[in-house]
Structure 1
Amino acid sequence: MNQSDRSARVRLVDVARAAGVSKTTVSDALNGTGRLPAATREHVQRVARSLGYRPNATARLLRAGHTRLIGVAAREHVETPWVYAELAYFVQLVTATTRAALVHGYGVVLLPTTGPGDCWLDMPLDGVFVVDPVEGDPMVGDFLAAGVPVVSDRRALKEVASGTKEAGRWVDFDYGSAARQVLDHLEDAGAERVAVVAAATTACFHQQSVDAYLDWCAERGREPRIAYLQGPGIQNVLDAVEGLIDDADALFTLVEGSPALLLDTIRKFGRSVPDDLLLVCTTEDPTALYTDPPVSTLSYLPDETAQAAVALLVDSIEGRAGDHGRLFSADFQIRASSVAPGRGPARRTAASPLTPG
């Protein structure tokens, strides 16, 4: 029997038998508690080491009232199951959340993208980061009602605040202003028929962005041109684009998609970017910079958002006052795909600094 085989089976009771003492004495000796003679404590520790005993970290943390685990749930689509790796934004957000959590000494558990929150209340989570919650999202309310600290967006927390003891903390964007910034840019570049691809969801990002687009069109007396996805996935995005580009001179995608595949689809229908169709994508896909032409992008800063969310959540878990929210501005990178020929080089609009809410 090798050492790893022995260690895997050594229990507290095994140490007690080998040392000739009770389990309580072993527990006190190994945890530095109780009133034990120094010789007894040293004897038990020596026996435990010789047997290869290792304490159960999970059990110890549960007894202490915490597990140092943070849950992450993306709720943009709650009707259709999907995985985080399908969309570049969520890949980067989860990666950044995991990295930030490790800095604070926490691990991350990915929760499902569908279903209510109550089915996960039995999981030993210290806190939860709920991303893109839908309107009246039960997951936010269920966790807060159970006394589990939550970080989400302001609307979700406001909707459930009256029924919970803890109001939660938030990270958020002014989605409407970000959408208008893109729309104004496209108008300045000469576009008169701007089409939008959005998701059929009540997540705050999509609702506020679409509302801003509809208001923008109404102010100019223009007919909205909008296609809604019924679920995530690049094929759904491409199908929506195909139904819009014949009667548009600019395209603004609010859904995550591949810039290269979008350009290929547009060319397949005989359109040229930016000669007769301007293009801006809401995406974190790094290839946008290297396509031909480079694609203008609207970014919602997954790295910065994750770092702020984890810091707020850890403060809440550990009982520190701190800030209750962080408001960001989106990062709009203007590249050749949305600059009309002859209008000069692309400009860059950088994100504004992080500001407390």
Structure 2
Amino acid sequence: MTKAPTVDDVARAAGVSRQTVSNVLNAPDIVRAATRERVQAVIDDLGYRPHTAARQLRTRRSSTIGVHLDPYAGGISGVVLDRFVHALTERASERGMRMLLYAARTPEEEIARMGELLDGGEIDATIVTGTFHGDPRTGWLTARALPFVSFGRPWGEDDVAAPAHLWVDVDGAAGTAASTRHALGAAGPRIAFLGWPAGSGTGDERERGWRETMTAHGLAAPRWTVEEHVPAARAVVADALAAGAEVDAIVCASDSLAIGAHLAAVAADRHDLLVVGFDNTPAVEALGISSVEQLPEKVAAGALDLLMGPTGSVVAPRPAASGSAHVLVEPRLIVR
């Protein structure tokens, strides 16, 4: 059986001291770039992995980041968060970190669970998902001084010039703007928007991309509102088409809404009606519906960069300073 490489093996191969290897692993910012890159190359070549238990005793860190696992609710769009968590786990492992999944049904339950994990020394940081206006979790985390990044903005605040905390998000407005431009070129000027009730943050951003693009072209079209439910979306669009709504395309806030709109268009014999979704789930791919790809792998990488630095192997979050406390991922429109 081949013996696993040790810190001494890495130091010898890189021509540095054992302490320098330790610094590269635990405090990379204090090591000169050329030395850090040389040591990291040897670590990669040898396949060296720090011994987790020994490292925990030495540094008093758990080498673990917590992330909330949303309750299973069925539906179509939950696959995005599944991909995000999977990507986090892969990329954290590459940095010698582990992910700890915890479940909670409400923000209050999540706060209680995070408190247990923090008091037990089980996590060094956490990543919260699904932020919303007045989110109590972020204030609690700030008060407890537990390093964290949110997947979702601090809604209702100036999250760029005066950020309340570190955050990473997908630029929803850019996604729907790309969808609207595509629809204008491919279908015609009458582009409706099918979205959620106002006030959701994420939904408002996605609507903004459609609205600003239409306004820039001097155009106006219907804005239909519905909850996140395929049958409800189908009913809203079916009623609008039956009432004589003149639209060339529908830009949707999610794939669930897009599938509902698509089914309504087919039933109304409007096979020419272009529908564009948001999330690029396997369901819309199977139906041949264009959709915005959120790139959750890039979101995961951005979250870890904020918590650990671009090459760090320990939690060392950057300050929540103006302009540098966030990563905004531009999504990609997939045309079918």
TM-score (norm. length: structure 1): 0.60
Compared CA separation, residues 133 and 202, structure 1 to 2 (3 A) = farther
Say whether 1:176 aligns with 2:173: yes
Question: Given residue 333 of structure 1, which amino acid in structure 2 is its aligned partner?
Answer: I
* TM-fit CA distance, 1:296: 1.4
Matches within 5 A, 1:79-94: 83=73, 86-87=76-77, 88-94=79-85
Identity %: 18
Equivalent pair of 2:152/2:168 in contact (CA under 8 Å): yes
Matches within 5 A, 1:208-287: 208-220=205-217, 222-230=219-227, 232-246=228-242, 247=245, 248-257=247-256, 263-272=262-271, 275=272, 277-287=273-283
* TM-fit CA distance, 1:216: 3.5
Equivalent pair of 1:136/1:159 in contact (CA under 8 Å): no
Q: Which runs of 5+ in 2 are unaligned?
A: 1-52, 118-122
Compare CA radii of gyration and give the structure with the larger one: 1
Aligned with residue 301 of structure 1, among 295, 299, 309 = 295
Say whether 1:119 aligns with 2:127: no
Corresponding residue of 2:35: none
Question: Given residue 184 of structure 1, which amino acid in structure 2 is its aligned partner?
Answer: R
* TM-fit CA distance, 1:113: 5.8
* TM-fit CA distance, 1:332: 0.9
* TM-fit CA distance, 1:109: 1.6
Asked which structure has the greater RCO (Cα within 8 Å, sep 6+), the reply is 2
* TM-fit CA distance, 1:301: 0.7
Compared CA separation, residues 160 and 146, structure 1 to 2 (3 A) = farther
Equivalent pair of 1:237/1:255 in contact (CA under 8 Å): no
Task: Give the Cα–Cα distance (whole angstroms) in 2 for the partners of residues 158 and 313 of structure 1.
Answer: 23
Task: Give the Cα–Cα distance (whole angstroms) in 1 for the partners of residues 143 and 229 of structure 2.
Answer: 33
**Residues matched between the structures, number:** 261
Compared CA separation, residues 151 and 321, structure 1 to 2 (3 A) = closer
Equivalent pair of 1:249/1:278 in contact (CA under 8 Å): yes
Say whether 1:103 aligns with 2:94: yes
Deviations 1:30-81 (A, max 9, x none): xxxxxxxxxxxxxxxxxxxxxxxxxxx8xx88x945472412366xxxxxx8
Equivalent pair of 1:89/1:256 in contact (CA under 8 Å): no
Aligned with residue 141 of structure 2, among 123, 140, 143 = 143
Say whether 1:71 aligns with 2:67: yes
Equivalent pair of 2:252/2:276 in contact (CA under 8 Å): yes
* TM-fit CA distance, 1:123: 2.9
SS in 2 for 1:179: helix
Compared CA separation, residues 261 and 226, structure 1 to 2 (3 A) = closer
Q: How well do the aligned residues superpose, as a CA RMSD in angstroms?
A: 3.7
Question: Given residue 99 of structure 2, which amino acid in structure 1 is its aligned partner?
Answer: G
Task: Give the Cα–Cα distance (whole angstroms) in 2 for the partners of residues 111 and 149 of structure 1.
Answer: 19
Compared CA separation, residues 139 and 82, structure 1 to 2 (3 A) = farther
* TM-fit CA distance, 1:156: 0.5
Equivalent pair of 1:92/1:303 in contact (CA under 8 Å): yes
SS in 2 for 1:156: coil
Equivalent pair of 2:259/2:284 in contact (CA under 8 Å): yes
* TM-fit CA distance, 1:331: 0.5
Aligned with residue 196 of structure 2, among 189, 196, 199 = 199
Question: Given residue 234 of structure 1, which amino acid in structure 2 is its aligned partner?
Answer: V
Deviates more, 1:170-179 or 1:298-307: 170-179
Compared CA separation, residues 226 and 136, structure 1 to 2 (3 A) = same
Task: Give the Cα–Cα distance (whole angstroms) in 2 for the partners of residues 224 and 99 of structure 1.
Answer: 43
Q: Which runs of 5+ in 1 are unaligned?
A: 1-56, 75-80, 336-357
Question: Given residue 305 of structure 1, which amino acid in structure 2 is its aligned partner?
Answer: V
Equivalent pair of 1:283/1:298 in contact (CA under 8 Å): yes
Deviations 1:326-348 (A, max 9, x none): 2321111222xxxxxxxxxxxxx
Deviations 1:252-300 (A, max 9, x none): 111232866653442122210xx2x111111231353443xx2211111
TM-score (norm. length: structure 2): 0.64
Corresponding residue of 1:20: none
SS in 2 for 1:109: strand
Equivalent pair of 1:288/1:296 in contact (CA under 8 Å): yes
Corresponding residue of 2:33: none
Question: Given residue 120 of structure 1, which amino acid in structure 2 is its aligned partner?
Answer: R
SS in 2 for 1:238: helix
Deviations 1:183-223 (A, max 9, x none): 12211224222122222363443212212333344455544
